[in-house]
Amino acid sequence: MWTESDNKLTATFKFANFIQAFTFMTEVAFHAEQQGHHPDWSNVYNTVEIRLSTHDAGDIVTDKDRQLAKIIDKVYEKFN
């Protein structure tokens, strides 16, 4: 699901509706805050696009990004 390109991990998540997409984003936001690592993301109706890179490391993909991506995948599993 995740693609690494241009020093970013990227993924697109689809949901049944806007409420599910927003609920997903809210839960991810709590995890991101706990990790002190925040995604670059966008939401249009039922689609959430996420881009991860570590700004402190020069905007490259690090283990921090891979860890958050795994957490995001676990959150997404709740919606399938």
pLDDT for res 30:
97
Q: Which residues pair with 60 in a beta bridge?
A: 54
- Give the list of residues 6+ apart from residue 23 with CB closer than 8 angstroms, or none: none
Backbone angles phi, psi at 22, to 5 degrees: -70, -35
What does pTM read for this prediction?
0.94
How confident is the model over 17-43, as pLDDT tens digits? 999 999 999 999 999 999 999 999 999
What pLDDT, on the 0 to 100 scale, is given for residue 41?
97
Looking at the structure of the chain, the number of domains it has is 1
Instruction: Supply the range of the domain harboring residue 36.
Output: 3-77
Kindly report the CATH number assigned to the domain that includes residue 51: 3.30.1360.20
Q: 3-state class of 42 per DSSP?
A: strand
Residue at 20: amino acid letter: Q
Residue 45 has pLDDT above 90, yes or no: yes
Amino acid at 53: S
